[in-house]
Structure 1
């Protein structure tokens, strides 16, 4: 059997609040196959986004193991986690998190520049073209619509050809037409780069496009779903 690209084993997350510790994730065991598209669904507060953050090393598990690309993320320090994400992951948030003082082109090129790529702007320009923003690459985030900003965020996440794409409610701040366009682009980027895609969504039409859907409730997996036949 092929080694999964992401594997969680009894992963737990608890945060300490004024009233004491609060259990967010209560023992998640889950594997994501290489090249799979996995949707995480469930009611608000069920732990979907927290689970995605564990997978990306953006939250540190307080129990269990989180393995990605064969590395135990719970054993890495913050610098090691940052390098691992830089080399292996692209992350798209509901809020676009673009740097306001940088143009679209500069925002997309930034991950490559930080990695020392000499062709950062050329590759960033190609990625912006792939999301239909060739004519907007010199614009700043404030000069772009919400849909355009999310396209820039998608291009930035994909520009380094990551093995893993993580998306947290990527259509949540967009209207129906822009949301549909972002869905098409997200799956197009996955297909073009051969990445494993894990996304959190409340949108049934987005979840329906995934190979598998996992339902979370109260910090636990309520239904792990079944992998669709690749021929379907």
Structure 2
């Protein structure tokens, strides 16, 4: 009997692995428990919709995944990297290597042009082609004719498209989006979300999307609900 039968492929580790994650903040009346023991695995390329009432801990979870907050206990591993032991410099390097982030507020630098805003993360990564890649990214979101416009010269929808271009220009493995249509009207919000899903599909980025819109959550591969700091 031969032993040359095809072997089953080893299962791939998830791009996100969260175990018993907690976050507490001190207060005069005692600690406030924001996250109270989160377990979550996310596969590479998966699109996850995160829903739940205001104050339930959704944004805190994204801040922990981005390394912008430090967990009280538990573990977070993203793209094989354990965020727990990292100092602030290591976390900044981790974000540059792996993440794109889109917020409800656009967080554009008002004194910079659209192209300069998109080039910022590329320049931080010492990319010599930052200006060219930024221009190409703006072209992909339909703003190739707005390269030299500053945020005050752009509509809200255009500003959020610049933010999308900035998030996707470095080709991130993981895209974190926190209510990205919250400041936009319905039609503009749908345009922005169409672009976001298209860009994730083109680049193969994993998406974690916080939204209050059930229709947006339904476009994701899977939904998770956070309530009172727990997955339910």
Counterpart in the other structure of 1:194: 204
1:53 to partner: Cα distance: 1.1
Name the count of aligned residue pairs.
Answer: 222
Counterpart in the other structure of 2:146: 136
| TM-score in terms of structure 1 length | 0.94
Name the SS for the 1:66 alignment partner: strand
Calculate the aligned-residue CA RMSD, in Å.
Answer: 0.7
Query: What's the CA shift string for 1:144-198, capped at 9, x where partnerless?
Result: 1111100000000000001000000001110001100011000011011111011
Query: What's the CA shift string for 1:55-83, capped at 9, x where partnerless?
Result: 11111110000110111101100000000
Matches within 5 A, 1:80-229: 80-222=90-232
Counterpart in the other structure of 1:8: 18
In the aligned structure 2, how far is the partner of 1:18 from the partner of 1:139? 47
| TM-score in terms of structure 2 length | 0.94
Matches within 5 A, 1:45-84: 45-84=55-94
Name the SS for the 2:20 alignment partner: strand
1:202 to partner: Cα distance: 0.4
Pairing 1:34–2:56 present:
no
For structure 1, list consecutive stretches of 5 or more residues without a partner in the other structure.
Answer: 223-232
In the aligned structure 1, how far is the partner of 2:27 from the partner of 2:186? 37
Q: Look at both structures and tell me which one has the larger radius of gyration over its CA atoms.
A: 2
1:20 to partner: Cα distance: 2.3
Counterpart in the other structure of 1:228: none
In the aligned structure 2, how far is the partner of 1:212 from the partner of 1:47? 18
In the aligned structure 2, how far is the partner of 1:132 from the partner of 1:186? 13
In the aligned structure 2, how far is the partner of 1:18 from the partner of 1:170? 33
For structure 2, list consecutive stretches of 5 or more residues without a partner in the other structure.
Answer: 1-10
